[in-house]
């Protein structure tokens, strides 16, 4: 009798938007669900950066290392000069961080100052292996944009099968 190896357990990211705080020392205190997610993934070391600093609504991103390394590989080996330029910006503002025992991540100084999130409330959402961190101002603007013509957006999604 041949035994089959157990299939890997899927670890779902936290759902919804969650408030969080960046303290005066630049440490992002992760909501419990986010800290637990990183722990379950065995991914307490992360890469923190922003790929869209020059855009109207920049978003800080916290990447688990496997996701960041896949992005880095894409930019280095498959995207030519464009990838190299984006990677340069990501590395200029980004840095490795490790979650401490209190569930905090130290954010790169230049990045948090540029985004205006020192000693401030922020909002977080999670996708597979990536956390998005919004300043209050960015979140408010994203919500304004999302709510514009919301009924038409929902109707379109229902046509696609939204329940």
- In this structure, is residue 12 part of a structural domain? no
Residues 106, 124 contacting (CB under 8 angstroms): no
CA separation for the pair 86, 151 (Å, rounded)? 36
Q: Give me 103's structure tokens.
A: 């569930």
CATH of the domain at 52: 3.40.1550.20
- In this structure, is residue 157 part of a structural domain? no
- In this structure, is residue 81 part of a structural domain? yes
Mind listing the pLDDT tens digit for each residue in 1-33?
Answer: 566 666 668 889 999 999 999 999 999 999 999
Mind listing the pLDDT tens digit for each residue in 97-147?
Answer: 999 999 999 999 999 999 999 999 999 999 988 999 999 999 999 999 999
pTM: 0.88
**What range defines the domain where residue 67 resides?**
18-135
CA separation for the pair 18, 58 (Å, rounded)? 18
């Amino acid at each position: 009798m041949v035994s089959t190896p157990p299939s890997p357990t899927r670890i779902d990211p936290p759902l919804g938007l969650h408030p969080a705080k960046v303290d005066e020392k630049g440490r992002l205190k992760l909501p419990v669900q986010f800290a637990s997610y990183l722990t379950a993934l065995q991914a307490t070391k992360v890469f923190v950066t922003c790929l869209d600093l020059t855009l109207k609504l920049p978003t800080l991103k916290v990447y688990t290392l496997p996701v960041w390394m896949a992005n880095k590989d894409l930019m280095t080996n498959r995207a030519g000069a464009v990838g190299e330029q984006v990677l340069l910006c990501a590395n200029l503002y980004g840095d490795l961080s490790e979650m401490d025992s209190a569930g905090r991540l130290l954010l790169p100084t230049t990045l948090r100052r540029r985004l205006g999130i020192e000693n401030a409330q922020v909002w977080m959402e999670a996708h597979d292996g990536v956390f998005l961190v919004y300043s209050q101002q960015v979140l408010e603007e994203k919500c304004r944009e999302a709510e514009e013509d919301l009924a038409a957006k929902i109707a379109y999604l229902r046509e696609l099968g939204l329940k």
